[in-house]
Every structure is written in structure tokens, then in C-alpha cells.
Chain A
């Protein structure tokens, strides 16, 4: 008992500072430590119960002519022991799980950000440079990766067993998770929220690439993009970022206002102000959509962090939609 308490105290001290002191946080490592402690403790409990169960079953099996068992109704001391010891074990595990969970939620500042959108049945991935892939996630080894997750239709969940992380893709909302690719390789990602007939096939590949390979891959994409005029680039961004899921370019109302003829038009906002949609309005409507909501629409558009160059390209493209 005493030994156990010492062990518990040491483990507790061990797991807390490791969060603060670690140079590079990797939730997978903390997860492994956490799971090991959990597995050891609960296996010990199961073995204890089962050994006692088998021992009592053999030792106290009724012999011929034997009457009743001993007259014992309880024992306060023992009952306190098997109330307190499990309590200490779960508090210990609970504190550790709390610490590890915080690692999962605190995204490092230098994280590389990706947007992932689930749909029936696949995954659209958008990179900061406007690159778009489907069912394929390319990430650089050694850089933390933050994934902003949403869904186009029903609930999905994005799960990468290699990085021991998953989060729900919810329509109309953005959730997030992050991970640290530590080794180059190809890993599987699954959908873990039941979403219909294609659920079992809703897989994606995670390519963790060495930094140089990754940069080469990005450069190849950028090269192709650089050859485009601002209007062409803007069109590509609008198509690729999924803007058309909520905004039409044909003049019809959808979840959001139409983009047709929006540039230079006069817009009535939900607080009654009337403004002209100029360059500045278009740009902050993309980066801070909740600032000025058009009257009659819900404030549900997530903010998009784009470079000034990309914002300019989109504005140039919108100017052509007359």
C-alpha cells in the first residue's frame, strides 16, 4: 500500500512537469506514456480480482456435509481500502489525462495550417498556398500541422491512427486538431463517424514528407499558379476554397449572398448600415466575415487566412463577375 502510494506520487510528479519542460511537444509520446501507466494499473487490478476469484472458488468450494459459510457481514477497514485505492488510481490517471489532453489542444505557434472538408464520401484538403488535393494530405516532417476541419453535408470524423488523433467534421462549424509528423512515410486516415453507404471507403492518405521534398512539391504547384493572371488565379482560389458551396456566381441567393455583381454594389448590413462593396470590404469579408454581415444572412462563414496577394486576386476576379 505504502509502496503503491509512493509509486503513485512519483508518477504524478513525473507526468506533470514533462508537459512544461519538453522542448518539442509530441502528444503521441505523451499518449504512449499515459496508456502504458493505464494499462499496467488496470491489468494489475484485473489479475488481482481474477486470481482471488479463482483462489476463493477452489479454496471455499463446498465440501460434502458442509453447512453455511462464516458469519461475516462486512469490514469497515477493508471497505475503506477498496474505496480509497481505486479513487487514488482514477485521480492519478485523471490528472495525467488532463495534462496530455492539454497538449492535444495547444497548437504550437509555428504550425502549418490545412483546411480539411469532409463530404459524402471523401476529404477535400486546402493548403495555405491555395493548393488543393482530395483524399491526400501532404505534410512536412518536423513541423506541427494544424487541421481546421469542417463538413459539407453530414457528420464525419477525421482519424489518423499514426498520430493518435481524431476530431469530428461538423457541417456549419470548424473544429481543429494538430499533430507532429516525426517520420517520413504514408499513413492511413479514416472516417470514424458513420455517414452512410460509403463510410467504409472514406479513407485518405497522409504523406509525411521530408522538408525538402515537401518544398519541392509546393514549389511545383506554385510555379503552375504563378503563370496565371490575377483574375485566373482568383477564379482558381474561389473554386478551390469551396466558396461556391455557399455563394453563387449566377445571381441566385444561397446560404450566402451571390458573388455576381457584388463588387461596387451597395450592400445593406444586418445593423442597418449601407455601404459600397469596395476592395477593402471584399478583403475583410474574407478574412473577418463576422465583422459586416449582410442583412438577411446568418453569421456562419468561417474566416479564411489568405495572403494579400491572394485576396487581391480574388477581388480582381470578383470584379469580372458582372
Chain B
């Protein structure tokens, strides 16, 4: 969207583009479309849970709805918005490059992603609708009449897209940093994206293999997961979660980076403990690969393996805690301006701690023996994904909105929707913790009558939340066309992407900049002398 062509650029220019900023916008549009679809499915599911045994949805449709909702929200909204939209938008601008290392490969990644999206939509509307859950566990996914192949091929295409992106962005970050842009001067958002793509690179081949074997078992008569012929259905779960657990950090690491950018910019303070932030990001990326068995704590896995992976799971709380306390310390003695992105970031921190500490509950082997596959788990991962990570996605979209559209979003509407989303999320998901502890399993279309009133709270909360999300979507779409014109640096931020016009010209930088300082050079030195945070010592 260069200035002279904005508004006049033809469709052709978008389809054949290799410009990372245009590709970023197309990723955002595609994933927002699937996000909207996921919300619509959630509305139907929620409506059907107003009373137990409600016939509005029924068991068969419910199984299809939660399958597409889960797959869509994770594989088409959360992962692509961070590794597609934010990675494309931010990496070249933040490292001082004119584009990614392989621009045409980047376009191919995007179009593979579109192909996968078309398949996912087909899986919803063609006969043999998917009812296997986004996890697709055999033997059920093999025995059912559902068109498992469509899902498998969609995962293959997504995987090809993500692997190409991983190679592309890792190469870009390693080799194309501007002169003076040392590893110690990289934005934390770039570090987060770097960690995310390392996970993609090592994890995706495994899940691609796992679903391929599923396809062979179902259509070619092989027996990899067939217990009666010497295979093992649990093998699939190991292979699946070997990627699908680290995939959570593919979402979380860039999100952590984005929160760091926002907290530092709006507190007008250096990020507290830059080095420990980087170490924490990389530690999470590494540990993330050693904890998948916590998804199999009640699946007859060897006792010792469960204990080892329980302890490793708990260790992830340590680097995660470091990040939370460093954000707090960054706000301490800051000069905090509560623009919408900052409001979302602060909301994220408190909600994310709920998600994080309930994750410790899942990770505690003995506790998990009770809460596994109950609504407790559903509450946990919706607190992390739907509440925390989606909030970061919105925070980031608003923060860089002036940069990638050249226009400002509606500040007042964004602030109002923050409170609607916060209240809606708490009402929709916190009661699930209670239901889970009372023994209510997940993926149940109906429920025992004694849970009716708690379910109704979640239904009402869900509708409030969805209203908030739709208001955000309206804000994004409306402001993209009719928002106020933005200046190059509306936040007066110090990071590299704000030194060029909004929106940036297609070549980004007229001359490649020479970097002499880090991205968070805020702070008045005379105040720093007397500033030693005492409050935190109370801990």
C-alpha cells in the first residue's frame, strides 16, 4: 500500500505481490475471516447449551461445530495472525531490511495458506463433515465416515506454508539485519518471532508425518494406529502433541514480544531486563519440546515418563514468571499513557497469569488425574488463547494500525470494547473452572441438569464476548478505510519501524539505516539515578 497507489491499487497488484507488507495485510484479512467464522460457530454452540439436552444443535452437529471452531481458531487465526501477519509486517521493518530473504517464497507461503483455508471451509460444507476434533485422534478419526482426508491435506498445506515461512524468516533475521543491528539490539518482538519459527521448523515435520500415517491407516489399510494389528493409537497422540504443544509457544512467543514493545513504548521506559527476556523466550522455546506428555497424563503412559514431563512442564512457569515480573518492573516508575494498545496489554498480563497458573494445575500430574479432559482444561486454554493471546493480537493490530494502514483506529471504541471483552471473557470462561472441578467433561453436547445455571452464565458471557469481538472487527474494517490519517510516529516510539512514513513505501528504507542504539532508548537519566524499585522486594 504505497502512498501513491493506496486506494487505487488493483486486485492484480495484490494477488501477484511479493511485498511483505501487502502479504501481511492479506494474512490478517484471511485469518480475521476465519476468526469471524469461528465466532459464528461458537455462537451456535453456546446457544445450544442454554438448557441440557437442547435440540437446537444436537450431538452430531455439535461435534462438527467444535471441530471446526477449534481447528479454525488455532490453525487459521492464532498461529497465522502471529507468524503470518505480525512476522511479515514487523521483521523487515524492525531489522532494517527492504523485504524478507525470499520474497517470492513468502508469497507462495501465503497462497498455500489460502489453499488450506479453502479446504477447511470445504470440510465444513461438503458431505462427511469433520467430527473428529481438531486433534483427530484415531481410532475414531479412522472409523468415522467424516472426510478426514480433507483435514489431513489442509494440515499438509498449512505445514508446507509454515515450513517455507520458517526458513524464510530465520534466514531473514540471521542474515539481513542492517549494519549495527546486533542480536542485543533486536526488538523483543523479533526475538519472539525467531523463537516461534525455530519451533515451526522442528515441530511441523512431525505432525505432518503423524497425519499422513492417519491418512494411510484410513484409506490404504496400513496399521500404524491399529491396536489389533500391533499398532498403537496412543502413538498418534505422542506425535501430534510433540508439535501441537510447542505450537502454543508459536503463538505465545511473538505475543510476549509484542507485549514488551507496547509496555515499553507506552510506559516510556526501557524494557526491564532485556537479556533475561531474551533468555526466557529461548528457554520457553526449548522447554516447549519436552512437555508434550502432559497431554497424555491419563493415557496409560509409563509412570516415570509422566513424572519427568510433569516436572519439566512446571519449569516453564519460571521463564514465564520472569517475563511477567519484567513487564511489571518496566511499568514501575514509568510515565504510562493508557492508549488502547496499553490497556489491552495490561489486561493481557492479569488474564494471562490466570491462564498460566491454571496451566500449572494441568501440569501437576496428580491434579491432572482429576481435571484432565474436563471443562477445567477448556477454561485454561480459552483463558490463554481466547482471552490473553487474542487480546495481544488486538493490542498489536491497534499499535501498528497507523503503520500498516496509514490511518488511526477509533480510540474510544477500542477502549469501550476492551471492557466488554474483559467482562465477557471472565463470565464466559471462569465458570468453566468450577464446572471442571465438579467433574463436567469437555466436548459434551449436553450436561447433567444440576449444571444448568452455571452453563447459563457462560452462555451470557459468551454472547457479551462475541459482541466485543465483532465491535473490534468493525473498528478495524471501518478505520482502515475511513480513519484519520496517521503520522509517521504517532506514539513517539523509538523503534526502527517508526522512523519511516506510515504506510511505509514499498522499499521501506530509502537508504539502509545504520543502527547505533537499541529499540527501547526511553528514560530521563537524572531520574534513573535515584530509581531503585523497592516495592517488588515485598515479595
Residues of A at the B interface (CB closer than 8 Å) are 1, 27, 30-31, 34-35, 38, 42, 45-46, 48-50, 52-53, 55-57, 60-63, 66-75, 78-79, 81-83, 85-87, 89-91, 93-94, 96-98, 100-101, 104-105, 153-155, 157, 159, 161-162, 164-168, 170-173, 175, 188, 190-201, 255, 298, 300
Contact = CB atoms under 8 A, between A and B. Distances in A.
A101 B143 CA distance: 34
B523 A155 contact: no
Contacts of B267: 60, 69
Nearest to A246: B228
Max chain A C-beta neighbours (<10 A), residue from B369, B447, B527: B369
Max chain A C-beta neighbours (<10 A), residue from B228, B325, B442, B535: B325
Nearest to A46: B353
B328 A52 contact: yes
B513 interface: no
A57 B228 contact: no
Contacts of B272: 72-75
Contacts of A82: 321-322, 325, 536, 539
A259 to B, nearest CB: 18
Nearest to A45: B357
B128 to A, nearest CB: 14
Given A53-B331, A194-B140, 16 more contacts: A42-B361, A45-B321, A48-B539, A49-B325, A56-B328, A68-B523, A68-B524, A70-B531, A71-B525, A79-B273, A79-B322, A81-B537, A82-B539, A104-B366, A170-B233, A196-B131
B269 A98 contact: no
B336 A60 contact: yes
A42 B364 contact: no
Interface in B358-390: 358, 360-361, 364-367, 369-370, 372-374
A173 B300 CA distance: 9
Interface residues of B, number: 94
Given A48-B539, A50-B350, A62-B336, A196 B524 contact: no
A162 B370 CA distance: 9
B234 A67 contact: no
B446 A62 contact: no
A90 B360 contact: yes
Contacts of A159: 373-374, 439, 441
B350 A98 contact: no
Contacts of B453: none
A50 B314 contact: no
Contacts, number: 289
Interface stretch (B155-163, B249-257, B305-313): B305-313
Contact of B338 (A61, A153, A165): A61
B334 interface: yes
Contacts of B357: 42, 45-46
Given A74-B276, A166-B369, A60 B335 contact: yes
A192 B535 CA distance: 45
Interface string B109-146: 00000000000000000000001010001011001100
A82 B332 CA distance: 15
A199 B443 contact: yes
Interface in B484-539: 522-525, 527-528, 531-533, 535-537, 539
A69 B439 contact: no
A167 B306 CA distance: 13
Contacts of B335: 60, 62-63, 66-69
Given A68-B522, A173-B227, A97 B364 contact: yes
B273 A200 contact: no
A56 B334 contact: yes
A166 B137 contact: no
A60 B354 contact: no
B274 A74 contact: yes
Contacts of B13: none
27 contacts: A34-B366, A42-B358, A60-B333, A60-B336, A62-B268, A63-B335, A68-B522, A71-B522, A71-B525, A72-B270, A75-B273, A75-B532, A83-B276, A86-B321, A89-B317, A90-B360, A93-B360, A98-B311, A100-B366, A101-B306, A161-B438, A170-B233, A173-B300, A194-B443, A196-B63, A196-B131, A298-B229
A72 B528 contact: yes
